[in-house]
């Protein structure tokens, strides 16, 4: 008669298992408390970075539209049937900017109705030039605010050598924040739905807490992908190698360039380069030419297979600038394996610009919500710790 209560008491005092706590009372777990510290301090140190990246990324969803707004008002209207030839544009460029080397040329489209030329001047300064789509008349633009925002988002204004690498590190920390945030979001089986919604019936501190939870949950997948693609942009070869271990690439494997022999000092005309690329991709629409000044042994011609500017399916044609010989043709977007789809999806899911205005608006709002998520996290730190510490002092 006296032993039964002792047995029941021992059963009641026995601590719950890890799985039971994970399902019902996750806040009891030491692992969760450790992950909370990792999430907290990563978020604090990354607050300004995340806000900058989120806001600039949201703006760049509409980069083409904003770029069109910065074009000179004197340009002729865009007419696909009356486009100035590339040779006329390059002749006008060489006349307007003697001693300059064009590093890239983009053709006009409905979204950006002008030729866009990136160049390096005799003083090694980067230049941005606009050519009229009808007359090829050149105008040299000072750096626009859209270009500044683009450089801030991609390179953090630090140049391509360092900015992309730092962005890669930031993407790694953002990935850690995303994974730990998902674990910390789980409140337990009985109250799991509480983290999905926002109620305005409480004080502002509780509203801020609920907003952080709800925004974090509903933007989880796309923020996770943004962090993965950010790592990919910084360390392309390493990510491709890792994906290939799971599913070898076929369609998204860029072809290897053949060995080039001795090249004479002369170069073929840019018209010959374009004609060769058009012959290699008969259904493609010319989008851009790298190094249209033809100073390098090879040039890359991008031929869009769908709408102009649609980078999801294009032929990337490599042409020998000395002979106009086709070296490689990469049918970008012809995916075969699971690994192909993973690598291919890095760009369209990161930018959100290929599926019309509704998706653009959605990506813009999610980008802004990432900045809000960072601010609400910082306010939570203020409410829970910093405010009380300052009051004690």
Q: What is the DSSP string of 30-46?
A: HHHHHHHHHHHHHHHHT
270-274, 283-287, 304-308: least confidently modelled range? 304-308
Q: Please tell me the distance from the alpha carbon of residue 373 to that of residue 214, in angstroms, as a whole number.
A: 9
Q: Quick one: pLDDT at residue 15? A: 56
Sheet with 314-320, side-by-side order of all strands: 138-141, 126-131, 115-120, 101-106, 285-290, 298-304, 314-320, 326-332
As a whole number, mean pLDDT of residues 324-353 equals 95
User: pLDDT above 90 covers what percent of the chain?
Assistant: 63
Token couple for 224: 């996770």
49's tokens: 């970075």
The residue ranking higher by pLDDT, 176 or 263, is: 176
Please report the pLDDT score of residue 41 as a whole number.
87
pLDDT at 241 over 90: yes
SS3 99: coil
State the span(s) of the chain assigned CATH 3.10.450: 255-334
pLDDT at 2: 46
| Average pLDDT across the chain, whole number | 88
Average pLDDT over residues 284-288: 95
Q: So what's the pLDDT on residue 30?
A: 76
pLDDT of residue 361: 96
Q: Dihedral of CA 336/340/344/346: which sign?
A: positive
Between 9-13, 224-228, 294-298, the lowest mean confidence (pLDDT) is in 9-13
| 3-37 pLDDT tens trace | 455 545 444 545 567 677 666 677 777 778 888 88
Distance CA 140, CA 171 (A): 35
Arithmetic mean of pLDDT, 55-60: 97
Rounded CA gap, 80 and 17, in Å? 69
- 255-334: CATH class: alpha beta
CA distances (Å), 47 to each of 147, 154, 364, 380, in order?
24, 17, 19, 13
What's the pLDDT at 298? 93
Would you say residue 364 has pLDDT above 50? Answer: yes
Q: Report the predicted TM-score, pTM, of the whole model to 2 decimal places.
A: 0.86
Question: Where are the domain boundaries for CATH 3.30.505 in the chain?
Answer: 76-143
The C-alpha torsion from 46 through 224 and 189 to 379, rounded to 10°, is 20
The angle formed by the CA atoms of residues 298, 303 and 305, to the nearest 5 degrees, is: 155
Lowest mean pLDDT of 79-88, 145-154, 183-192, name the range.
Answer: 183-192
Q: Which CATH number describes the domain made up of 76-143? A: 3.30.505
């Amino acid at each position: 008669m006296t032993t039964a209560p002792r047995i029941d008491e021992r059963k009641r005092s026995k601590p719950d298992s890890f799985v039971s706590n994970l399902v019902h009372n996750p806040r009891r777990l030491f692992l969760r408390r450790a992950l909370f510290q990792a999430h907290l301090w990563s978020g604090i140190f990354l607050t300004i970075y995340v806000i900058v990246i989120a806001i600039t990324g949201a703006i760049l969803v509409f980069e083409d539209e904003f770029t069109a707004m910065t074009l000179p008002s004197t340009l002729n209207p865009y007419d696909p049937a009356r486009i100035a030839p590339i040779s006329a544009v390059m002749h006008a460029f060489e006349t307007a900017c003697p001693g300059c080397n064009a590093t890239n040329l983009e053709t006009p489209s409905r979204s950006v109705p002008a030729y866009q030329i990136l160049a390096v001047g005799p003083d090694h300064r980067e230049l941005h030039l606009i050519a009229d789509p009808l007359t090829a008349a050149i105008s040299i633009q000072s750096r626009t605010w859209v270009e500044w925002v683009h450089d801030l988002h991609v390179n953090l204004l630090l140049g391509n050598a360092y900015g992309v690498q730092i962005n890669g590190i930031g993407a790694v920390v953002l990935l850690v924040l995303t994974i730990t945030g998902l674990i910390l979001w789980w409140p337990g089986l009985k109250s799991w739905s509480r983290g999905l919604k926002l109620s305005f019936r409480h004080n502002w501190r509780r509203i801020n807490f609920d907003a952080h939870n709800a925004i974090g949950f509903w933007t989880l997948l796309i923020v996770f992908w943004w962090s993965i693609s950010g790592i990919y942009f910084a360390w392309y070869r390493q990510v491709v190698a890792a994906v290939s271990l799971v599913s070898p690439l076929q369609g998204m494997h860029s072809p290897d360039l053949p060995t080039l022999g001795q090249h004479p000092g002369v170069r073929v005309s840019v018209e010959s380069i374009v004609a060769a690329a058009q012959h290699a991709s008969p259904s493609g629409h010319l989008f851009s030419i790298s190094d249209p000044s033809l100073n390098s042994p090879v040039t890359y011609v991008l031929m869009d297979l769908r709408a102009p500017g649609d980078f999801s399916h294009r032929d990337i044609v490599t042409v020998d600038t000395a002979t106009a010989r086709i070296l490689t043709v990469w049918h970008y977007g012809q995916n075969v394996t699971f690994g192909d789809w993973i690598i291919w999806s890095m760009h369209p899911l990161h930018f959100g610009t290929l599926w019309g205005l509704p998706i653009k608006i959605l990506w813009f709002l999610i980008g802004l919500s990432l900045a809000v998520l960072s601010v609400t996290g910082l306010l939570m730190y203020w409410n829970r710790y910093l405010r009380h510490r300052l009051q004690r002092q």
